[in-house]
Structure 1
Amino acid sequence: MQVGNKSYRTVADVPEQVPVFPLSGALLLPGAQLPLNIFEPRYLAMFDDALVSDRVIGIIQPALENGGNSPGPVKDLCSVGCLGRITSLGETGDGRYVITLGGICRFRVLEELSQDGRPYRVCAIAPFGSDLDAADDGADVDRKALLDSFRAYLDANNLEADWSSVERASTVSLVNSLSMMSPYGPAEKQALLEAGDTKTRAETLVAITEIALARDGDDYDRVLQ
């Protein structure tokens, strides 16, 4: 996995301890990019420290309610997040950072570590080594089903897309981009994050979209036809 100027080929290339940024409803996936607007002092300090270190931050959701996430070692956080490398940073002049994170790999939280005076949280993690393997090219994804559900969602909500760009996108990029931009809630975003591979993530996204469309009306089947 190449993210910015850094290659992550094995779990040895990934830090064992990372600062974590709890962010409800946020989804970062390997190989994708997440823009962030940072203004809280503790997170400004976190990114300052990351910039002079390995530039890696863990994006993770707060623990989900109603049993949406299996209990992990840190009870107020989901058990799985995604590592991101700071690939760009801009200063706004009013104390904020505008940052882009490039997704490296998912991780499982092992334990929370002592803050040692830091205003932000740090966790020991176990990275998902399979995310660093380029073998998953999405070849077994039902791309037509994915695009049909995407088109149905756009039609149902009177939205448009740049279809020429969609058609040119690789299947992995398409699945990850649609998953990240999808307007679903924290539980759905966590399910997309924890999907085992690109095929499973695509199937999960299609299923969530079908449920959302069915909930909003009975026109889904007609739209797909």
Structure 2
Amino acid sequence: MAQGYIRAADLPQVIPVFPLSGVLLLPRGQLPLNIFEPRYLNMVDDAMAGDRIIGMIQPFPGGSSLPGLLPVGCAGRITSFNETSDGRYLITLTGCARFRLSTELLVQTPYRQVRAAFEDFESDLTAPAAGEGALDREGLLEALKAYLETRGLDIDWETAETAPPEALVNSLAMALPFDPPEKQALLEAPRLDERAEVLTALMRIGAADGGEGEAQSMQ
């Protein structure tokens, strides 16, 4: 059960959205955010006064001041909130469920709001995730090792080898620096095993391309 929600109908139909390219939130994943723009400070204030739900969604690429939104996002609940001395908000969103964008609303708020349809992703609200038992963990970890080696990166392998399947797949999908279309493909994969297959393929491609940049640690 994700954040106390049992059915798609339990989630709000209208939610504020934070359009952010290249940023991925997945069910039960945790996304830290540093909020400083006035419109998004307003959004967090309003969310905190209500059900604490914010939708993360990617905009269509392009230079428009009001870009279109991709058709699928993920709603999260604010589960951690801190205000800094300079007025920023440091929040953590914990993913509840993915949604399809039904329509964007005409609103007076400085932030954007959409009507969200959660029905197609009701299974996101239950654990274990659909497809967890079919996940090829060995292939995933082999691809991860090759991907990290080409970039001079390292992780806590004991944690990676023992982490629950959903936590492993979703944390890697959210953390690794894939391009926005690749992040969207990970988001839209219907089941956890299918997301793991996409993730494995992306890491293998990344390993074949060869990573660049200074070595650093992901521990």
Do Structure 1 and Structure 2 share a fold, with TM-score over 0.5? yes
**Which one of the candidate residues 103, 106, 116 is aligned to 1:125?**
116
Deviations 1:38-59 (A, max 9, x none): 0000000000000010000000
* Deviating 4+ runs (over 2 angstroms): 133-137
Q: Distance in 1 between matches of 2:169 and 2:76?
A: 18
Q: Deviations over 1:148-167 (max 9, x none)?
A: 01111111111111111112
1:71 corresponds to which residue? none
Work out the CA distance in 1 between the residues paired with 2:131 and 2:158.
Answer: 20
Work out the CA distance in 2 between the residues paired with 1:125 and 1:157.
38
Q: Residue 165 of structure 2 aligns to which amino acid in structure 1?
A: T
Number of the residue aligned with 2:127? 134
Q: Is the 8 A contact 1:30 1:105 kept in 2?
A: yes
Partner of 2:214: none
- In structure 1, the residue matched to 2:40 is 43
Question: For 1:82 and 1:2, how far apart are their aligned partners in 2?
Answer: 12
Tell me the matched-pair count: 205
Partner Cα separation in structure 2 for residue 140 and residue 97 of structure 1: 39
Do the aligned partners of 1:137 and 1:171 also contact (CA within 8 Å) in 2? no
Aligned residue number for residue 86 of structure 1: 78
State, as a whole percentage, how many aligned pairs show the same letter: 53
Are 1:172 and 2:166 matched, yes or no?
Answer: yes
- Verify the 8 A CA contact 1:23 1:61 in the aligned structure 2: yes
Post-superposition offset of 1:133: 2.9
Provide the secondary structure at the position in 1 that maps to 2:42. helix
Q: What is the identity, as a one-letter code, of the residue corresponding to 1:83? A: A
Q: Distance in 1 between matches of 2:134 and 2:197?
A: 11
- Conserved? CA contact 2:2–2:27, under 8 Å: no
Displacement of 1:2 in angstroms is: 3.2
Mapping for residues 1-225 of structure 1, pairs under 5 Å: 1-3=1-3, 7-64=4-61, 76-115=68-107, 117-127=108-118, 128-135=121-128, 136=130, 138-216=132-210
TM-score computed with the length of structure 2 as normaliser: 0.90
Range with bigger deviation, 155-164 or 19-28: 155-164
SS in 2 for 1:139: helix
Distance 1:164 1:209 in 2: 20
Tell me the SS of whatever aligns to 2:133. Answer: coil
| TM-score, with structure 1 as normaliser | 0.87
Please list every run of 5 or more consecutive structure 1 residues that lacks an aligned counterpart in the other structure.
Answer: 66-73, 218-225
How far apart in 2 are the matches of 1:198 and 1:64?
Answer: 27
Q: Which moved more, 1:205-214 or 1:181-190?
A: 205-214
Q: C-alpha separation between the residues in 1 aligned to 2:20 and 2:103?
A: 18
Quick check: 1:32–1:102 contact (8 Å CA) kept in 2? yes
2:143–2:204 CA contact under 8 A, matched in 1: yes
Distance apart, 1:215 and its partner CA:
2.1
Q: In structure 2, give the amino acid aligned to 1:2.
A: A
Quote the offset at 1:212 in angstroms: 1.7
